[in-house]
Structure formats: C-alpha cells, structure tokens
A and B are shown apart, each in its own frame.
Chain A
Amino acid sequence: MINMQPNTLINQLPHRRMEAWKWTDVRGAVTDTQVGMTAACAPEFELPPSLTLTRKNHTDTGTPMGKLATNFAGEAYVVNVPAGFNSTDTLKISSLEHGHVRIIIRLGVDAKLNMSEVHASKKAGFVNLDLRIELAKGAKLARTINHNDHADTMRISTTQISAWADAEITQHILSFGAGLSRFETRIASLGENLKADIHGAYLLNDKRHCDMTSYIDLGAENAHIRQSVKGVVTDKARGVFQGKFHVRRPAQLTDAEMRHDAIMLSDSCQVRAKPELEIYADDVACAHGNTVGALDESALFYMRQRGIPSKQARALLTLAFVAEAFVAEAFDSMADHTSFMALITNWLEQNS
C-alpha cells in the first residue's frame, strides 16, 4: 500500500528524471489540492446489448501510475466480450472527469469490438486511467479516443494491450491536450500475425501539453504495424511523441513503420520526439520517420493567389496534414470519423 498522505503521494508520481517521463513531469506539475488525486473515478459505460459490466479486484500493473490506480480506484471495471462476438454497436466509455480508474476488457476468440472513449473534463482535475485489454486469438479491436480537457486538468491514460495470434488493433486518438496529458499505449504481441494500426493527432494551443507515448513489444512472427502521429502546436503549447518498436528475436518477418510529423505554428511552442527501434530479429522491415516544421509558405501563397484567404488556406493545409493520420479503412465507417474531422476543423478555425 502507498502512504496516502499528500506529500508522500506526490513522491510516488513519475518525474522528469525518469527517462520515460522526461518530457512529461507529473510530479513537477501536480498540486496536492487537485481534485481526484486520492479519489476513485466513476466512469460511465454504454454497452452493446448482451455485454455486461462487472467489478473485480485485480493485481496492479506494476507501473507508478498503475500502483496509484490500484490504491485509489477500488475494484476494476471488467467487460468480458465472448468468443465470436460481433456487433455494430459500440462500447462507449465516458465521464472520465477526475480520479483513478481501472478498466479491464477481454475479447474472446474471434470477438470483434468497436470501442469509443471520451476523455474530457469541464473543471480542472486529476485523472489516472489504467486500462488493460486482452485480445484472444483472432480478436479484433477498433478503438477511438476523443480527448478534450479543461486547460488545467492533468490526465494520464495508460493502456496495455496483450494480443494473441491473428489479433487486429485499430486505434485513433484525437487530443486537444490538457494542462498535462499523456496517452500511453503499450502493445505486446504474444502470437503471430498481429496487425496493428495505431494512429493519432494532437492539436494544442495556449499552454496545453499532450504526450503520445507507445511501446510495441513484438514477440512473435509476422506482425504488421503502422503508426502515424500528427501534431499541430501553437502559442506556448508542447507536444511530445515517444514511440518504440521492440522487435524480439522470434518476431521474424515483422513489417513495422512509425511516423511522427509535427507542424509548429508559433515561435514559442515546443515539440519533443523520440522515435526508437530496438531490433533483435534479422529478417524484418522496420522504419521510423520524424519531421518537425512549419507550414509551406510557397503552398500558402499559391492558395492565396487562387483567392483563398490566408487563414482559410492555413486551416485547409493543416487539416489535410492532420487527416493523414485518420485514413485507416476500419476507421472510415466509424461514427467518430465525421465528428473527429468536425472537431479538427473547428479547432483550426479558432487557431489558424
């Protein structure tokens, strides 16, 4: 158990001297008066018919944030998706406004689940989500995350996905940041033929911060991974991307590509990126790419010469840039596709 006194509690938080947290200093940013620091979160679930929600005690995940969640969240929320499950209805999770919460979702053999999460807060608070997803053989998960927090909220969201053979994952995160926010996705392949498309975009203004961190641990043959994260930052905002593909010796024939591209719209914003490959298998195709730049001034002049006002031209170019992260086929048919594009357009109208 962790000592629950605020001062001691703060000492448990990850901080900038830890390599994985060097750009997202939770300890440095938190105040002990933050709503939700020692409380449980009460998420809302909307379940497809025939699925049920249970509460269960569960061992913690061993990470600093996982330990905190175990301490304050109470029992985990558990959704078991039976083998062969296939519904067009979406599992929706919302009201993740403040406090700690643990969620476990298990997909049985060949189960197929669409999942849509809203991470939002109207008031400043502290949110710590510890989500575990287990994909049995042939299970398919399509997940979207829509993140739009109060400017002073601090949110750490950690997802660990374990995937058995033939599993498929499609994930799209759209984040408008928070005072401090981090979406960490950890995927472990335990069987062959994993197919994962894990994309995202962050659009940050003011002093907002968003960190998209991922760790893809490949332990079996023939994985196919595509990752593209797009960032747009302005004002004094800060975007962070940390991506790692860890290709272990048995993971032959891995085909994995990682991209992070960011556009900086102001002189005082920041983008930090660390793309990493660690490869022990010899018959693999792995690549990573990272670019940070400004909008193409020549393209902007060309658009203005055609009569498109500067602001609109900037928004159009930026929208096209961000939209590249949201082109996966599995995402096209999801309701969130339309709403994501509308949210991005709206943000660009205010910030271009």
Chain B
Amino acid sequence: MIKINNLTATVNEGQQTILNGLSLDIPAGEVHAIMGPNGAGKSTLSYVLTGKDGYDVTDGSVNYMGADLLDMEPEERAAAGLFLSFQYPLEIPGVPTMHFLRTALNAQRKARGADEMSAPEFLKKARSVAAELKIKPDMLKRPLNVGFSGGEKKRMEIFQMMMLEPKFIIMDETDSGLDVDALRIVADGVNALRAPTRGMLIITHYQRLLDYIVPDRVHVLADGKIVASGNADFAKLLEKEGYDKYAA
C-alpha cells in the first residue's frame, strides 16, 4: 500500500540529515509499529510522508497506492486517504470543531469528485462517533482543541480519524498524554478501523500502546533508518532491552 524506498530527508537547508536511506513496505490490511530512541527521526518520517514544509527530500521515493506521494500537496495526500494523528495536535482558535471537520470532510470529498455530506447526515455520524469515544457533545461546539487537555486533544484526533475514514493512518505518539481508560477507548476506536483495505503506521516510544493495538510488524528506527524488524513480540523485547544496541 505504501512503499518507502531509500528515503533521505534533511532540515535546515541541508545542514542536518534526519532520514538516512529509510526503506519500509506496509501492505494493505497490516499495522506496522515504529519504535526508537528520541531523535531517531520518527516524527520527521510522519511529517515527510504528510508533506510538511521545512523538510527536503534529497533521495528516495514513496509510492502510495501507485502514486508518487512526494509529488502531492498535503491536502491532496489527505484526500487520497492519508491521515496523521499528530503528536501535538494544533489549536485552531475561532473555528468550532464541527465546522472544521465538516469543512475538511467535504473538501476531501470534493477533491475525490464525490458529493458533499449533508449537514444532518454529518451530525448523525458525529454524534454516534462522539458517543463511542465518550466525547461530550458540547466539546464539538468549542473551537478545535482550544483549551482542551492533552488527553482530550488526542481523543479528538481519533474522533477526526473515525469521521474522515482514511485509508492509511499514521499515529504519532498517540498514547502520550492518555490515561489507561482513555487509552483503551482510543485503542478500541483504532481497532474498529482495522480493515483489509486499510494500512496503519504507529509511531511510539513505549510498548504500552501495542498491548492494545497489536501490530503485524515492529521496526526499530535509529539514525534515520530501519535497523531491525520483528513481529509483535519484538516490541516486548525492545521494552526490556532498550534501544542502546541499535544506536550508533
């Protein structure tokens, strides 16, 4: 589904290389986890895949469902089904959550040549997803993420994810800031989205999240490339042994 080949990316106008020949292949229907020490390039990978400014891809390619992902604008990637659950979700002052999300949903639909979702249909869906994630309805009227706690922001990311029904999901440190109950609710939401046509990349520091969302493959990212891979049990081993032996 997504094929990353020898991806090399720099910041600070080429001064610093963050991704250094990273290759990774995630087929549809699979959930892959990326673990690794601080500064390994985990968040950079998520930003390069979603098209954030400030990262220069100097080598390599990313093929996303047959298309050259790196050639697309961020909003085109979103319309093609790529979703990033941010490590630090942004506050959007003055824009109510529901309005923001409906604008996003309909912009994606428009880009795909589909009809807009009607207001009642959208509302109905939002109510049911919010109930599933135990989000209070009045939170959806407030400006997106403004004044929300860290945990509420993370839950709101999952809410958006379930509303937008993306094809490929990247989750960047989604577990940070979540208590155990919230973690379970979020994991249930994510697991419900697992499907043969959908791929997921979970970036995490700790093994904890992977108890709830069990991955098909686990990779270690260090110094800008994948240095080791394994199955779900590999994460437990990493948790025990640490990343030291993978660091340069």
Chain B, 62-86, contact with A by CB distance < 8 Å: what is the 0/1 string?
Answer: 0000000000011101110001101
> For window 311-352 of chain A, which residues contact chain B by CB distance below 8 Å?
312, 316-317, 319-321, 323-324
Cβ proximity bits A225-257 to B, threshold 8 Å, 1 near / 0 not? 000000000000000000000000000000000
Residue from the list B50, B79, B89, B107 in contact with A312, Cβ < 8 A: B107
Within 8 A of A (CB), among B136-156: 143
B105: A residues at CB distance < 8 A: 307
Judged by a CB distance under 8 angstroms, whether A83 is at the interface is no
Partner of B73, one of A306, A310, A321: A310
A297 at interface (Cβ–Cβ under 8 A)? yes
List the A side residues contacting B125 at CB < 8 Å. none
Tell yes or no: B160 within 8 A of A by CB.
yes
Asked whether A310 and B143 contact (CB < 8 A) given A298-B90, A320-B95, the answer is no
A35, CB-defined interface residue at 8 Å: no
What is the bound-complex CA distance between A324 and B111, given in angstroms?
A: 30
A304 pairs with B95, CB closer than 8 A: no
Say yes or no: is A280 at the interface (Cβ < 8 Å to chain B): no
Contact mask for chain B residues 20-63; partner A; CB cutoff 8 A; 1 contact, 0 none: 00000000000000000000000000000011110000000000
Interface centre among B50, B78, B83, B92 (most CB of A within 10 A): B92
Task: Say whether B104 contacts A308, CB under 8 Å.
Answer: yes
Residue B233, interface by CB 8 Å: no
Which of A296, A308, A310 has most chain B Cβ within 10 Å?
Answer: A308
List residues of chain A with CB within 8 A of the CB of B104: 303, 306-308
B132 within 8 A of A: no
Tell yes or no: B174 within 8 A of A by CB. Answer: no
Neighbour of A303 across the interface among B53, B92, B94, CB < 8 A: B92
- Asked if A307 and B107 sit within 8 Å, CB to CB, the answer is yes
Q: A287 an interface residue at 8 Å Cβ cutoff? A: no
Q: Nearest-CB distance from A123 to chain B (Å)? A: 36
Q: Is the CB of A307 within 8 A of B94?
A: no
A11 at the interface (CB under 8 A from B): no
Q: Are A308 and B75 in contact, CB atoms less than 8 angstroms apart?
A: yes
A303 to B74, CA, bound (A): 9
B91 interfacial by beta-carbon distance below 8 Å? yes
Main SS class of interface, A: helix
Q: Give the contacts of B149-202 with A (CB-CB under 8 A).
A: 160, 164
Chain B residues within 8 Å of chain A by Cβ, number: 31
Cβ of B78 and Cβ of A316 under 8 Å apart? no
Q: Which residues of B contact A305 (CB under 8 A)?
A: 50-51, 74-75, 77-78, 83-84, 86
Query: Contacts A306-B164, A307-B108, A308-B107 hold; do A321 and B78 have CB atoms under 8 A apart?
Result: no
Tell me if A304 and B74 are in contact (CB < 8 A). yes
B165 to chain A, nearest CB (A): 12
In the complex with contacts A301-B52, A301-B53, A317-B95, A309-B90 CB distance below 8 A: no
Return chain B residues, CB-CB under 8 Å to A308: 75, 103-104, 107
Of A298, A299, A301, A323, the residue contacting B74 (CB under 8 A) is A301
For B86-123 the 0/1 string (1 means CB < 8 A from A) is 10011111110000110111011001000000000000
Q: How far is the CA of A323 from the CA of B99 in the complex (A)?
A: 15
Q: In the complex, A323→B51 CA distance in Å?
A: 30
B94 lies within 8 A of A321 (CB): yes
**Among A301, A303, A307, A321, contact of B93 (Cβ-Cβ < 8 Å):** A321
Residues of B within 8 A of A (CB): 50-53, 73-75, 77-79, 83-84, 86, 89-95, 100-101, 103-105, 107-108, 111, 143, 160, 164
Those 6 A-B pairs whose CB atoms lie nearest each other, nearest first: A320-B94, A307-B78, A307-B108, A306-B104, A304-B74, A302-B90
15 extra interface residue pairs, beta carbon distance < 8 Å, beyond A307-B111, A310-B73? A296-B90, A297-B53, A301-B74, A306-B100, A306-B164, A307-B78, A307-B104, A307-B107, A307-B108, A308-B75, A309-B107, A309-B111, A310-B75, A316-B95, A320-B92
Pick 24 A–B contacts, CB within 8 A, sort by A.
A299-B90, A299-B91, A299-B92, A301-B53, A302-B89, A305-B50, A305-B78, A305-B84, A305-B86, A306-B104, A307-B75, A307-B78, A307-B79, A307-B107, A307-B164, A308-B107, A309-B73, A310-B75, A312-B107, A317-B92, A317-B94, A320-B94, A321-B93, A323-B94
